Amino acid sequence: MPIYEYYCADCKTDFDKLVKISDANVAQDCPECGGRHTQKKLSTFATSGGSTGQSLAASNCGGGGGRFS
């Protein structure tokens, strides 16, 4: 189950909640005030990865495919 971000209009609180995909757009109970005037926020996502030592080393290699001088 993914974690979604919500906003509570009653107490002006942002919160995260683990919710089934099918229930993502259903109003969720606010953990602060218990209110149901909540809405799902548009969330950004992160990707894991980045540069690894191997790809970094490969990108720093000279292009010539021959012997080292």
8-36 tens-digit pLDDT = 999 999 999 999 999 999 999 999 999 99
For domain 3-44, the CATH architecture is: Single Sheet (2.20)
pTM for the whole structure: 0.60
SS3 assignment for 13-51: EEEEEECCHHHCCCCCCCCCCCCCCEEECCCCCCCCCCC
Find out whether 27 and 39 touch, Cβ atoms under 8 Å. Answer: yes
31-54 tens-digit pLDDT = 999 999 999 998 776 677 665 555
DSSP secondary structure code for residue 9 in this structure: T
